[in-house]
């Protein structure tokens, strides 16, 4: 029986923690030669640009023994008017899983998941980037040996990555997540409410501020994302002025002497983060990128075969 990975809201705490630990396991030597997806086929349908996520899932499928079929934005008959539902019904008779980046309407992912035969993985929609958060928690787990009790400062737009982090981190006891977002570019109110609800359940805390000076000092992780989220544009011509106080630079990192720096990438040096921070000793952003490949194995295995425990 397969499972979809369309939103972290559909995962239990146990599922999230299992996927984080399993991603870390796939990073280790014991996983070599583990090919549980032999004879299966995984598709990758990316309507928007991607370097990390598409490569992570394609390489994960191949290394786990599956075949892989890649579709770009112009490849499917969707472009000539075939419906998303019919596309899903057909692909489900040929593929075991489909990894899809719409970068747009999340209902497209749900339409693909509506068939009953093929697992669907949301590789980023407008509202959520669930596999990014799973890879990020795997990175934290590998770096700190725990997630419970970590203090995380997220700085930047309340985008799909922020939403996924807000739905994943407060599953762990004592986590503190502060989202410092530019005014007018905050987290979706319904996602924030769900994150606060999860935090209450787990003795954790999640809150948002639009004033970087209000953010706590001495956190364990400073996290940011690019200012122009993939597949989006900002109608306000002066948006950069609103984002400028949210740049992660030496002055911001000086308030967090022990912190590691994380970035989901791609980064724009000089905008969301300065080069000296991204390339500096505190940065684990490129380990984080590598962990997307380890985590993608855990996601594909879980979606297609279920928990391995
Ligand atoms: N972080 C992330 O999703 O990277 P890509 O857009 O390159 O897949």
Each domain of the chain, given as residue ranges in start order, spans: 8-127+292-305, 130-288
Pick the CATH number of 130-288 from 2.60.40.1510, 3.40.50.1370, 3.40.1190.20, 3.40.1710.10: 3.40.50.1370
Query: What SS3 string covers the chain?
Result: CCCCECCHHHCCHHHHHHHHHHHHHHCCHHHCCCCCCCCCEEEEEECCCCCHHHHHHHHHHHHCCCEEEEECCCCCHHHHCCCHHHHHHHHCCCCCEEEEECCCCHHHHHHHHCCCCCEEEECCCCCCCHHHHHHHHHHHHHHHCCCCCCEEEEECCCCHHHHHHHHHHHHCCCCEEEEECCCCCCCCHHHHHHHHHHHHHCCCEEEEECCHHHCCCCCCEEEECCCCCCCCCCCCCCHHHHHHHHCECHHHHCCCCCCEEEECCCCCECCCECHHHHCCCCECHHHHHHHHHHHHHHHHHHHHHCCCC
Q: Which atom of ligand 1 is nearest to the CA of 265?
A: 1
Q: How far is the CA of 262 from the centre of ligand 1 (A)?
A: 14
Cis peptide before 266 (omega within 30 of 0): yes
Tell me, yes or no, if the two domains 8-127+292-305 and 130-288 fold the same way.
yes
For ligand 1, atom 3, name the residue with the nearest CA.
53
- What number does the ligand 1 atom closest to the CA of 48 have? 6
Rounded CA-CA distance 168/172 in Å is 8
Q: Is the CB of 132 under 6 A from ligand 1?
A: yes
Q: How far is the CA of 50 from the centre of ligand 1 (A)?
A: 5
What is the rounded CA–CA span in Å between residue 106 and residue 266? Answer: 22
Residue 10, beta-bridge partner list: none
- Give the pairing of strands 119-122 and 67-71: unpaired
CATH of region 8-127+292-305, choose from 3.30.310.40, 3.40.50.1370, 3.40.50.720, 3.40.190.10: 3.40.50.1370
pLDDT digit of tens for each residue in the chain (309 aa)?
A: 799 999 999 999 999 999 999 999 999 999 999 999 999 999 999 999 999 999 999 999 999 999 999 999 999 999 999 999 999 999 999 999 999 998 678 889 999 999 989 999 999 999 999 999 999 999 999 999 999 999 999 999 999 999 999 999 999 999 999 999 999 999 999 999 999 999 999 999 999 999 999 999 999 999 999 998 777 788 888 999 999 999 999 999 999 999 999 999 999 999 999 999 999 999 999 999 999 999 999 999 999 999 766
> How far apart are the C-alpha atoms of 301 and 303, rounded to whole Å?
6
Look at residues 278, 240, 239, 241 and name the one whose alpha carbon lies nearest to residue 262. 278
Q: Given this model, what pLDDT does residue 176 score?
A: 98
Nearest to 56 by CA among 297, 302, 293, 290: 293
Q: Is the beta carbon of 122 within 6 A of some atom in ligand 1?
A: no
């Amino acid at each position: 029986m397969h499972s979809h990975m369309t939103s972290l809201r559909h995962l239990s705490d146990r599922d999230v923690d299992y996927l984080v630990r399993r991603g870390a396991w796939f990073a280790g030597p014991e996983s070599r030669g583990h090919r549980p997806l032999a004879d299966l086929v995984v598709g990758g349908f990316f309507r928007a640009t991607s370097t990390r996520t598409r490569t992570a899932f394609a390489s994960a499928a191949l290394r786990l023994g599956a075949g892989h079929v890649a579709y770009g934005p112009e490849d499917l008959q969707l472009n000539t008017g075939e419906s998303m539902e019919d596309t899903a019904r057909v692909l489900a008779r040929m593929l075991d899983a489909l990894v899809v980046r719409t970068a747009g309407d999340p209902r497209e992912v749900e339409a693909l998941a509506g068939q009953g035969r093929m697992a669907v993985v949301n590789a980023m929609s407008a509202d959520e980037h669930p596999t990014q958060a799973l890879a990020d928690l795997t990175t934290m787990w590998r770096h700190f040996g725990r997630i419970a009790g970590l203090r995380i400062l997220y700085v930047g737009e309340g985008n799909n990555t922020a939403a996924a982090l807000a739905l994943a981190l407060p599953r762990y006891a004592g986590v503190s997540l502060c989202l410092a977002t530019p005014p007018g570019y905050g987290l979706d109110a319904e996602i924030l409410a769900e994150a606060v609800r999860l935090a209450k359940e787990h003795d954790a805390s999640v809150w948002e501020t639009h004033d970087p000076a209000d953010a706590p000092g001495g956190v364990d992780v400073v996290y940011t994302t690019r200012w122009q989220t993939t597949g989006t544009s900002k109608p306000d011509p002066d948006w950069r002025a609103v984002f400028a106080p949210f740049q992660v630079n030496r002055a911001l990192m000086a308030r967090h002497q022990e912190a590691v720096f994380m970035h989901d990438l791609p980064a724009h040096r000089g905008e969301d983060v300065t080069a000296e921070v991204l390339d500096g000793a505190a940065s684990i952003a490129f380990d984080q990128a590598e962990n997307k490949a380890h985590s993608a194995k855990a996601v594909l295995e879980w979606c297609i075969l279920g928990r391995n425990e």
